[in-house]
Amino acid sequence: MESEPNDDVIVIGGGVVGLTTAVVLAERGLRVRVWTRDAVERTTSAVAGALWWPYRIEPEAKVGAWSLRSLAVYEELARRPAETGVRLVEGVKGQARLDELGPWAARVPGLRASTAEEFAGEGLWARLPLIDMATHLPWLRARLARAGGVVEERTVAALAEAEAPVVVNCTGLGARELVPDASVRPVRGQLVIVENPGITTWLAAVAPDGEMAYLFPHPDRLVLGGTAEEDAWSTEPDPAVAEAIVRRCAALRPEVAGARVLAHRVGLRPVRDAVRLEREVLPRGRSLVHNYGHGGAGVTVAWGCAEEAAGLVFPAA
């Protein structure tokens, strides 16, 4: 099926970056169609731990501004957590110091050194957006629909299939083949979802075995992580890895030990040396805007990148 001739914009990619970009464009009055290979609930974004924090993303000079813009949006959305899936949750990033972070850190409200009661070691306390992607992605899709946008499930073999005046490439790891851009690589992340034994604060820290562990609490479950395996393509959960994740998290929060496992999840982060956010001029006055390579911080920068991408769609507007 060819694209409709009255589409102003086709956004390819239905993860958090693609949907957020589509929302921004549609709410600026453009006719937007999203093409996504997978249902929104089955994209890589659906697997994200989804704590706001710049992670595995470059360039640092731009990431700060993108992240802070997104933070402001999420703080607003957190006023309606049941609807948007966004809550502001207190927690600690262990083994971290303010002077190790970029200039963006000075503008994060309340970010400070953690106390001994909050964490047994050096760390940073913060009240940050924690996003339930099972709620947030459908909410984004519904917000897009209210603005007149349409989401279609279809596999795209080439960017040239989209015949709209403007095409926005938010394909994440798919850009490796579609562009093609071999610099986009997967960094595999595995999670374990367990019943929440009563934990209300998040924690991301190095476990006693020297590996990273994190615990992200939601009202009905606890997300345990995780891994960062370079150039690993398997999306099948590894039982041994899952056991190690639970063990590391229990070493940090003993009440996790024995929590009933609800699910296992795997996602492939689309890592690139730097986010590609730029405009290409195509024949017949058409435009291709790239917005991909967000690594482990797609949620963190989604709104900032979406607004910059929207500015590239019609730069004279």
Query: What CATH number corresponds to the domain at position 177?
Result: 3.40.50.720
> How much is the pTM?
0.95
Same structural domain, 154 and 205: no
Sheet of strand 276-281, all strands in order from the earlier edge strand to the far edge: 150-153, 32-36, 9-12, 166-169, 287-292, 276-281
Same structural domain, 284 and 151: yes
Same structural domain, 259 and 135: no
- First CA to last CA distance, the chain: 30
289 is in an annotated binding site: no
Q: Within a domain: residue 246?
A: yes
Gap between the Cα atoms of 4 and 21, Å rounded? 19
Provide φ and ψ at 80, rounded to 5°: -130, 65
Structure confidence at residue 99 (pLDDT): 94
Residues of the chain with pLDDT under 50: 1-5, 317
Same structural domain, 61 and 153: yes
Q: Within a domain: residue 117?
A: no
299 is in an annotated binding site: yes
Q: Which stretches within 60-154 are classed as H helix?
A: 60-77, 81-84, 133-146
235 is in an annotated binding site: no
Q: Within a domain: residue 122?
A: no
Q: Within a domain: residue 68?
A: yes
Same structural domain, 82 and 18: yes
Tally of domains in the chain: 2
Same structural domain, 164 and 189: no
296 is in an annotated binding site: yes
300 is in an annotated binding site: yes
Same structural domain, 201 and 178: no
44 is in an annotated binding site: yes
Structure confidence by residue, pLDDT tens digits, 259-300:
999 999 999 999 999 999 999 999 998 999 999 999 999 999
Backbone angle region of 29, left / alpha / beta, with phi > 0 → left and psi within -120 to 50 → alpha: left
Same structural domain, 292 and 238: no
149 is in an annotated binding site: no
Q: Within a domain: residue 110?
A: no
155 is in an annotated binding site: no
Structure confidence at residue 4 (pLDDT): 44
Structure confidence at residue 3 (pLDDT): 43
Same structural domain, 194 and 169: no
Same structural domain, 231 and 191: yes
Q: Within a domain: residue 306?
A: yes
Q: Within a domain: residue 50?
A: yes
CATH number assigned to the domain comprising residue 215: 3.30.9.10
151 is in an annotated binding site: no
Query: What domain range is 222 assigned to?
Result: 185-271
- Cβ-Cβ contacts under 8 Å for 220 (sequence gap 6 or more): 196
Neighbours of 85 (CB within 10 A): 23
Q: Within a domain: residue 97?
A: no
**What amino acid occupies position 129?**
P
Same structural domain, 192 and 159: no
256 is in an annotated binding site: no
Burial class (CB in 10 A: 0-12, 13-18, 19+), 94: buried
